[in-house]
Structure 1
Amino acid sequence: MTELDRRAILGMSAALTGAAALGSTAALATSASPSATAVPAGAIALPARMIEPPRSISEAAQASLRKGAMVPYSPSPPADDVAGWKASIAAHEAGMLKMMNGGDLVLPGFKVEDRIMGGVPVYVVTPPASAPNQGKPHMNIHGGGWTSLGGKLARVFAQVAAQAYGGIVYAVDYRRPPDHPYPAPLDDCLAVYRELVRLHAPESILLAGGSAGSNLAAAMLHKARDTGLPRPGCLFLDTPIVDLRCIGDSLVTNQYLDTLLKVWSKDANVAVYARGADVESPYLSPLLGDLGKGFPPTYLRTGTRDLFLSDTVRFHAALRKAGVEADLYVGEAMPHGGFGSRTPEDEDARQDTLRWLARHWRVAT
């Protein structure tokens, strides 16, 4: 497979992940207008303004931001509208599957197996010899706001993860809301991890997740520790969501600047996932747990326009405070999940991740 082919597949993945992105630049101008009412003490009323992509990034990255800004705002259904959520998820995933030829894609040279581990469907992907980190176990948890990107989509994204970072990928197809809210997704991830540490030395395992998948990965480490399971060798959290109280600064300051998510509200995906459970539990908000036990060396990645920039930098700081080796990558003007994997900035981020993995993801001796 050529480098162009590889980037095309990665780009398709990122573009499809953001197919239901919310918001627009027009909405930014409206929402940022100073209110005619009194400003609360300490608050800052910003004037309406237009924010162009910065010239500090490549033309390809600028084009990605402009394209994302044109996606119209589409609010989620009310949290208690189960039928509305199911319809929205089905429509989103149907469009993605159509673009992926039904989701039956298998990349050239890849081996994909459908397994059941701990009672949970898992896609086991073995990449060709050209992929990095040959033979190392890689447990990967997909994102999608806990509600989307399962089934055949997870099967495709598992191949993308194997292509980008290597290893033998064990991708968890966890149960999802609205039919299966917390703790079902977390329990499924833990069940797979329990089986994985029986197959592989724990210190050789990379645990990785993106977005809501990062939330599940970090929360699962709290639960794994509490149930007596060993920690993995290293952890990779890509644009993680780690505080479901939704109080981070960038959730406000990066509204609509994040061209993938646009807006994030605890009244939407968080409410559908948590379904009334205490969001201050470390099993829902891993930032709020004891990070000094159970967490291995951790690599965190975000961008200056990511809605979850604050979650990521706060988690990085909390890990270091707890004595955990943690490294942080912040991409200039990068929104949630990156620019679509077709830009020099996306490749720089991937290469930095690979350099970190080369130091921390080791074969068990």
Structure 2
Amino acid sequence: MTSYDDLTAGFADIVAPSRQARALASALRLGWRPMADRLNGRFVSLTVLRTALEHGTRLLRPDPGVRVEELTGTDADVPIAGEWVRPPEPHDGAILYLHGGGYAFCSPRTHRTLTSRLATDTGLPVLVPGYRLAPEHPFPAALEDALEAYRWLLADLPASRIVIAGDSSGGHLAAALVGEACRAGLPSPGGVVLFSPWVDLSCELSVLSDREYRDPFISPALARHFGRLYVGDHDDWSDPRLSLLDCAGLDLPPFLIQVAEEEVLRGEAERLAEALTESGNSCRLQVWPGQIHVFQLFNRLFPEARAAVREAADFIRDVIPDDATGEAA
């Protein structure tokens, strides 16, 4: 059986948590988390939450030098709305990035600090679909949109030059997309990058983890509320499009998983990494100390967040073939 040490082997360049990271974690632990526990999924206005996030994340400016191009979805050639985030001199290839937000909120705009940094550090354009959100559009709407975006990229690029990435619920969606593409006979992408993936939408694993180390940001009860909004009337939690831990028989591309040491989703990330390696697939797991859920979003503020995105960029360069030779760099 694959051990935890085996999964994390080679990850020696861990950056100690900075003063800024520790301050943010403390503020969330004292302020946000008690309020999230009290809400427990009740009185959560999605309209207010969506508006607050859209406006609040404008304070986190994207990496300078990138160009953002809107996809309207009105043309016959464009399957859904979203945006391209392009570096100054893009290489041949693409990252398909699926944003997090509990399947119910956030957008391509809210994640520009991360998608723009990925574009800059890899030299690859990043496609960020504005997939449909729950509860207006429950499962499998988001997965259908992600599959359409992947098929759209495949029309212009070989699968080996595409990396699929996502954070939190977008990490769940990215992993589900790769599994569904495999089952549907679509070619596999070059690799997969998951930032703090939400593996278990029922939150049974996160409830157990929260008793061991209290997450400063994520309330399992509130997360469960959003999981139920996404699943809707679909009552089969063993559906492979929802349950990610059965990887048997799937020939999947290499995975990189990054997770914070004390976040409640750490146990889920470790279980997914173990399931992937035990099924014969390649997975590298990085556990970052002193960080919060999807800390990579704060790469313009925290040095360790910048280091984490650089690690992801190095992985992407390893799995995407070189432009000139067509061989892995």
User: Which residue identity is paired with 2:65?
Assistant: G
Confirm or deny that 1:332 pairs with 2:289: yes
The alpha-carbon distance between structure 1 residues 87 and 76, as it changes in their structure 2 partners (threshold 3 A), is farther
Which of 98, 112, 120 is the equivalent residue of 2:68? 112
Aligned pairs for 1:1-365 within 5 A = 57-72=17-32, 73-74=35-36, 75=39, 77-78=41-42, 85-96=45-56, 99=59, 108-115=64-71, 116=73, 119-129=79-89, 134-150=91-107, 152-153=109-110, 158-248=115-205, 249-255=208-214, 258-265=215-222, 267-277=224-234, 278-287=236-245, 289-338=246-295, 340-341=298-299, 342-363=301-322, 365=326
Deviation of 1:85 after TM superposition, in Å, equals 3.9
Q: How many residues align?
A: 296
CA distance in 2, matches of 1:94, 1:303: 24
Contact 1:178 1:273 in 2 (8 A): yes
Q: 1:95, 1:137 → 2: CA distance?
A: 28
Separation of aligned partners in 1, 2:257 and 2:58? 32
Q: Is the 8 A contact 1:155 1:171 kept in 2?
A: no
Is there any run of 5+ residues in structure 2 with no aligned partner, and where?
A: 1-15
* Structure possessing the higher relative contact order (Cα contacts under 8 Å, 6 or more residues apart): 2
Q: Does the 8 Å contact 2:203/2:224 carry over to 1? A: no
**Separation in 1, partners of 2:125, 2:224:** 37
Once the two structures are superposed, residues 319-358 of structure 1 have per-residue CA deviations (whole angstroms, 9 ceiling, x without a partner) of 1001111101101122211273323322332232233223
- Amino acid across the alignment from 1:360: V
Q: CA deviation at 1:313?
A: 0.6
In 2, are the aligned partners of 1:235 and 1:296 still within 8 Å (CA)?
Answer: yes
**Cα 1:99–1:303 shift into 2, 3 Å:** closer
C-alpha distance in structure 1 between counterparts of 2:108 and 2:164, whole Å = 20
Percent identity over the alignment is 25
Q: CA deviation at 1:226?
A: 2.2
For the Cα contact (< 8 Å) 1:305–1:334, is it kept in 2?
yes
- 1:219-259 deviations in whole A, cap 9, x for unaligned? 1112212222111011001111112232224243233xx22
Higher mean C-alpha deviation, range 278-287 or range 353-362: 353-362
Instruction: Tell me, in whole angstroms, the C-alpha distance in 2 between the residues paired with 1:157 and 1:191.
Output: 23
Which structure has the bigger radius of gyration?
1
CA gap 1:108/1:218 in 2 versus in 1, 3 angstroms = same
**Alpha-carbon shift at residue 66 of structure 1 (Å):** 1.9
Gaps of 5+ in 1: 1-55
1:316 shift after superposition: 0.6
Counterpart code for 2:239: S
In structure 1, what is the Cα distance between the partners aligned to 2:58 and 2:93?
A: 32
Secondary structure at 1:200 match in 2: coil
The CA distance in 2 between the partners of 1:321 and 1:179, in whole Å, is: 37
Shift of 1:266: 5.6
The CA deviation string for residues 102-153 of structure 1, in whole angstroms up to 9 with x for no partner, is xxx7764322222236521131121124xxx733211110011111112643
The residue type paired with residue 222 of structure 1 is G
- Report the alpha carbon displacement of residue 270 of structure 1 after superposing the two structures with TM: 0.4
**TM-score, with length taken from structure 1:** 0.73
Contact 1:77–1:85 under 8 Å retained in 2: no
1:276 shift after superposition: 3.0
Q: What is the alpha-carbon distance in structure 2 between the residues aligned to residue 304 and residue 217 of structure 1?
A: 22
> In the TM superposition, what whole-angstrom CA distance separates every residue of 1:1-47 from its partner, at most 9, and x where no partner exists?
xxxxxxxxxxxxxxxxxxxxxxxxxxxxxxxxxxxxxxxxxxxxxxx
Residues 175 and 244 in structure 2, CA contact (< 8 A), matched pair in contact too? yes
Looking at structure 1, the residues matched to 293 and 111 of structure 2 have their Cα atoms a distance apart, in angstroms, of 19
